[in-house]
């Protein structure tokens, strides 16, 4: 069980607020040094789960282990975690140095040791010139660096991030994202990171847990989540613009929706291809083939373009496929216009099939 070594284990976690079940029957194993992202829309319970791991919320039932030790009822400061918050949560009346050392002073760490650790964290995050300043005099990016530093000085194995980049503007967010990734490569700590931003999730994560209604919908690597979503919710949630869905029927490994007939012989069925019946197919806009490659696709079709959204690097084309609206992502140079007929191709290996009733992947 301990190969690879586990850093955080969550067993049958339940959290109820009165009648409302915020988290239900949650199990999660996080490996040592892993970067795990909890992803979901607001209210899915991702931040709540993080607060439970931190010990900031008393759970209703279940157990939490950190490095093999049961910490379910331990104080947050005794769990060996550091935490970074969305609003930075820096103590406004203390200097940066005071902020970094507050936790260590509470833990009665020797003064020399505090100095050493603060200096090291400041060096790693390149905030040495700011140590004597108060948070009010810092920019957003600098504040978040200090907030990370506060977790860093604690010398802990598990870092918890609660939407740490959400309050930053887009450019700074991208910069800090890269820095975080670099930091993880350097420190090799376990990091649990909550976000609603899928780009952050995809770029940072070793594994992503997509949550909805207090449950984990899928846990997997970014590649798995993106290319092999386990259910329709995950398929729809991940990817922007979102996946095209067409309702149809699956019979003898052939999917049909209206005039479209798509042989699914090459599709990696989970149960070996025995499924039949009402089925939904999902195709990402970027997986709809256009141009010269159309001929090599599993099946070809013609669509009527009704709206074009040029986005610079790409062009998003909205088109009509036998009565269904689909989105197609083309490159930025395409000269398609509204009203054109466009030849497209679909590759069965890059599509996803879902049972219409259970919404689970076939």
Partner 1 sequence: MDSAKRPNGLFRNKSAKIASIPMILTALVVFFGGTAWTVFYSFTGSRLLPKVKFVGFDQYERLWSSHRWMISIENLAIYGICSLVLTMVLGFTLAALLDRKIRFENTFRTIILYPFALSFVVTGLAWQWILNPDFGVQAVVRAWGWESFSFDPMNNPDIVIYGILIAGMWQGTGLVMVIMLAGLRGIDEDIWKATRVDGIGLVKTYVQVIVPMMRPVFVTALVIISSGIIKLYDLVVAQTNGGPGISSEVPAKYVIDYMFKAQNLGQGFAASTMMMVSVVIILVPWAYLEFGGKKRD
Partner 2 sequence: MTDTSPLSAGTAAMTGPRGAKPKTRLSRRNIFLYGTLLLISVYYLLPLYVMVVTSLKGMPEIRMGNIFSPPVEVTFQPWVKAWSEACTGINCDGLSRGFGNSVRILIPSVALSITIASINGYALANWRFKGSEVFFTILIIGAFIPYQTMLYPIVILLREIGLMGSVWGLVLVHTVFGMPILTLLFRNYFTSMPEELFKAARVDGAGFWGIYFRIMLPMSLPIFVVAMILQVTGIWNDFLFGVIYTKPATYPMTVQLNNIVNSVQGVKEYNVNMAATLLTSLVPLVIYFVSGKLFVRGIAAGAVKG
φ, ψ for residue 48 (rounded to 5)? Answer: -60, -45
Binder among 67, 74, 228, 318 for partner 1 (CB under 8 A): 74
Binder among 27, 41, 70, 77 for partner 2 (CB under 8 A): 77
Which of residues 115 and 134 has its CB atom nearest to partner 2 in the complex?
A: 134
As measured in angstroms, the least distance from the Cβ of 355 to partner 2 is: 42
Residues 47-66 within binding reach of partner 1 (CB under 8 A): 58, 63
Rule CB under 8 A: say whether 75 interacts with partner 2. Answer: yes
**Among candidate residues 64, 67, 34, the one with its CA nearest the CA of residue 51:** 64
State the SS3 of 148-193: HHHHHCCCCCEEEEECCCCCCCHHHHHHHHHHHHHHHHHHCCEEEE
Rule CB under 8 A: say whether 72 interacts with partner 1. Answer: yes
Q: Which residues contact 23 (CB under 8 A, 6 or more apart)?
A: 13, 14, 15, 45, 48, 49, 52, 59, 214
Binder among 27, 41, 70, 249 for partner 1 (CB under 8 A): 70
Q: Rounded to an integer, what is the distance from CA 260 to the centroid of its chain?
A: 34
Handedness of CA 202, 227, 240, 215 (dihedral sign): negative
As measured in angstroms, the least distance from the Cβ of 72 to partner 1 is: 6
77 binds, among partner 1, partner 2, none (CB under 5 to 8 A by kind): partner 2
- Mask 43-72, x = binds partner 2 (CB under 8 A)? --------x--xxx----------------
Rg of the chain (C-alpha set): 24
- Mask 11-50, x = binds partner 1 (CB under 8 A)? ----------------------------------------
83 binds, among partner 1, partner 2, none (CB under 5 to 8 A by kind): partner 2
Binder among 10, 38, 85, 285 for partner 2 (CB under 8 A): 85
Rule CB under 8 A: say whether 73 interacts with partner 1. Answer: yes
Strand order of the β-sheet with 207-212 is: 81-84, 158-162, 190-195, 35-39, 207-212, 215-220
63 binds, among partner 2, partner 1, none (CB under 5 to 8 A by kind): partner 1
Task: Report in angstroms the alpha-carbon separations of 341 from 96, 224, 262, 274, 359.
Answer: 61, 34, 20, 36, 32
Query: Which residues are near partner 1 by CB under 8 A?
Result: 58, 63, 69-74
Query: Which residues are near partner 2 by CB under 8 A?
Result: 51, 54-56, 75-78, 81-83, 85-93, 102-103, 106-107, 147, 150, 162
């Amino acid at each position: 069980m301990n190969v690879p070594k586990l850093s955080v284990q969550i067993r049958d976690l339940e959290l109820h607020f009165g009648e409302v079940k915020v988290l239900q029957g949650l199990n999660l194993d996080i490996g040592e040094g892993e970067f795990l992202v909890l992803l979901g829309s607001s209210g899915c319970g991702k931040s709540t789960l993080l607060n439970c791991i931190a010990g900031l919320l008393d759970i209703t039932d279940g157990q939490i282990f950190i490095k093999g030790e049961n910490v379910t009822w331990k104080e947050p400061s005794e769990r060996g975690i550091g935490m970074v918050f969305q609003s930075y949560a820096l103590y406004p009346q203390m200097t940066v140095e005071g902020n970094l050392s507050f936790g260590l002073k509470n833990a009665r760490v020797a003064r020399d040791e505090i100095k050493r650790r603060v200096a090291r964290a400041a060096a790693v995050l390149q905030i040495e010139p700011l140590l004597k300043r108060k948070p009010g005099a810092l920019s957003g990016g600098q504040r978040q660096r200090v907030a990370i530093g506060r977790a860093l000085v604690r010398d802990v194995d598990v870092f918890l991030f609660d939407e740490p980049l959400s309050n930053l503007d887009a450019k700074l967010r991208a910069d800090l994202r890269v820095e975080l990734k670099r930091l993880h490569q350097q420190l090799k700590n376990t990091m649990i990171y909550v976000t609603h931003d899928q780009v952050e999730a995809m770029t940072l994560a070793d594994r992503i847990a997509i949550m909805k209604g207090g449950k984990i919908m899928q846990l997997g690597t970014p590649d798995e989540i993106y290319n092999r979503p386990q259910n329709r919710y995950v398929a729809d949630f991940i990817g922007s613009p979102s996946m095209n869905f067409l309702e149809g029927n699956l019979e003898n490994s052939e999917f049909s929706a209206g005039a479209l007939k798509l042989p699914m012989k090459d599709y990696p069925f989970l149960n070996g291809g025995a499924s039949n019946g009402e089925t939904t197919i999902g195709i990402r806009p970027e997986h709809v083939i256009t141009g010269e490659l159309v001929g090599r696709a599993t099946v070809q079709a013609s669509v009527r373009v009704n709206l074009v959204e040029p986005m610079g690097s790409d062009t998003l084309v909205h088109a009509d496929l036998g009565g269904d609206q689909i989105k197609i992502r083309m490159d930025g140079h395409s000269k398609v216009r509204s009203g054109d007929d466009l030849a497209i191709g679909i590759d069965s290996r890059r599509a996803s099939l879902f049972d219409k009733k259970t919404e689970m992947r076939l």
